[in-house]
Chains A and B, each alone.
Chain A
Amino acid sequence: MGKQVPVAEGVFTWPADEPRLLGSTCTDCANVMFPTQSSCSKCSGQSTEVTELGRTGELWTWTVQGYPPKSPPYAGDVDPQTFEPFGVGYVELPGELRVETRLTINDPAQMKIGMEMELTFVPLFTNDDGDEVVTFAFAPIEQETP
Chain B
Amino acid sequence: MTTDDVAIVGIGMHPFGRHEGVSGMDMGVTAVRSALADAGVQWEDIQFAFGGSVSAGSPDTMVSKLGLTGLQFINVANGCATGGSALFSAYNSIKSGMFDLGIAIGFDKHERGAFRVSTRASGLRSWYGASGMALTTQFFGMKINRYMHEHGITTDSLARVSEKAFRNGSMNEMAWRRKPLTIEDIKASAMLSYPLTQYMFCSPGEGGVALILARADKAHQYTDAPIYLKAAVVRSRRFGSFEVMAPHIALEHNAGPTADASAAAFEMAGMGPGDMDIAQLQDTESGAEIMHMAENGFCEHGEQEHLLAAGETEIGGRFPVNTDGGCLANGEPVGASGLRQVYENVLQLRGDAGARQVPNDPRTAYTHVYGAPGISGVTILAR
Whether A7 touches B130, Cβ cut-off 8 Å, given contacts A61-B143, A65-B135, is yes
| Interface size band for B | 35 or more
Quick one: CB contact mask for B183-210 with A, threshold 8 Å, 1 for yes?
0000000111111100000000000000
In the complex, the answer to whether B249 meets A98 with C-beta atoms within 8 Å is: yes
Whether A74 touches B247, Cβ cut-off 8 Å, given contacts A42-B239, A61-B143, A61-B145, is no
Instruction: Tell me if A99 is interfacial: C-beta within 8 Å of chain B.
Output: yes
In the complex, the answer to whether A63 meets B138 with C-beta atoms within 8 Å is: yes
Quick one: CB contact mask for A64-92 with B, threshold 8 Å, 1 for yes?
11110110111110000000001011101
Q: Chain B interface (Cβ within 8 Å of chain A)?
A: 113-114, 116-119, 125-135, 138, 141-143, 145-146, 149, 190-196, 239, 246-251
Instruction: Tell me if A135 is interfacial: C-beta within 8 Å of chain B.
Output: yes
Instruction: Tell me if A46 is interfacial: C-beta within 8 Å of chain B.
Output: no
Chain A residues with Cβ below 8 Å from B149 are: 61, 113
What 17 additional pairs, Cβ within 8 angstroms, besides A69-B132, A75-B130, A88-B133?
A7-B130, A7-B131, A31-B250, A34-B247, A34-B248, A64-B191, A64-B194, A65-B132, A66-B193, A74-B134, A76-B130, A76-B131, A89-B142, A90-B142, A97-B249, A100-B246, A102-B132
Chain A residues with Cβ below 8 Å from B118 are: 73
In the complex the two chains form, what is the Cα distance from A113 to B116 in whole Å?
28
Instruction: Tell me if A139 is interfacial: C-beta within 8 Å of chain B.
Output: no
In the complex, the answer to whether A7 meets B127 with C-beta atoms within 8 Å is: yes
In the complex the two chains form, what is the Cα distance from A120 to B192 in whole Å?
25
In the complex the two chains form, what is the Cα distance from A66 to B117 in whole Å?
17
In the complex the two chains form, what is the Cα distance from A8 to B119 in whole Å?
14
Chain B residues with Cβ below 8 Å from A70 are: 113-114, 116
Whether A66 touches B133, Cβ cut-off 8 Å, given contacts A97-B251, A100-B248, is no
In the complex, the answer to whether B251 meets A100 with C-beta atoms within 8 Å is: no
In the complex the two chains form, what is the Cα distance from A62 to B191 in whole Å?
14
Chain A residues with Cβ below 8 Å from B239 are: 41-42
Chain A residues with Cβ below 8 Å from B192 are: 66-67
Q: How far is the CB of A32 from chain B (nearest CB, A)?
A: 8
In the complex, the answer to whether A100 meets B193 with C-beta atoms within 8 Å is: no
In the complex, the answer to whether B129 meets A74 with C-beta atoms within 8 Å is: yes
Give the 4 A-B residue pairs with the shortest CB-CB distance, closest first.
A73-B129, A63-B141, A8-B127, A61-B146
- Closest residue of chain A to B192 (Cβ to Cβ) is A66
Chain A residues with Cβ below 8 Å from B135 are: 65, 69
In the complex the two chains form, what is the Cα distance from A100 to B246 in whole Å?
7
Pick from B130, B193, B248: contact of A73, CB under 8 Å: B130
In the complex, the answer to whether A135 meets B250 with C-beta atoms within 8 Å is: no
In the complex, the answer to whether A88 meets B138 with C-beta atoms within 8 Å is: yes
Chain A residues with Cβ below 8 Å from B125 are: 8, 11, 35
In the complex, the answer to whether B127 meets A113 with C-beta atoms within 8 Å is: no
Q: How far is the CB of B197 from chain A (nearest CB, A)?
A: 9
Q: Which of B118, B131, B251 has the most CB of A within 10 A?
A: B131
Chain B residues with Cβ below 8 Å from A97 are: 248-251
In the complex, the answer to whether B247 meets A35 with C-beta atoms within 8 Å is: yes
Chain B residues with Cβ below 8 Å from A63 are: 138, 141-142, 145, 193-196
Instruction: Tell me if A115 is interfacial: C-beta within 8 Å of chain B.
Output: no
Quick one: CB contact mask for A1-20 with B, threshold 8 Å, 1 for yes?
00000011001000000000
- Closest residue of chain B to A92 (Cβ to Cβ) is B251
Chain B residues with Cβ below 8 Å from A66 are: 190-194
Instruction: Tell me if A33 is interfacial: C-beta within 8 Å of chain B.
Output: yes
Chain B residues with Cβ below 8 Å from A41 are: 239, 250
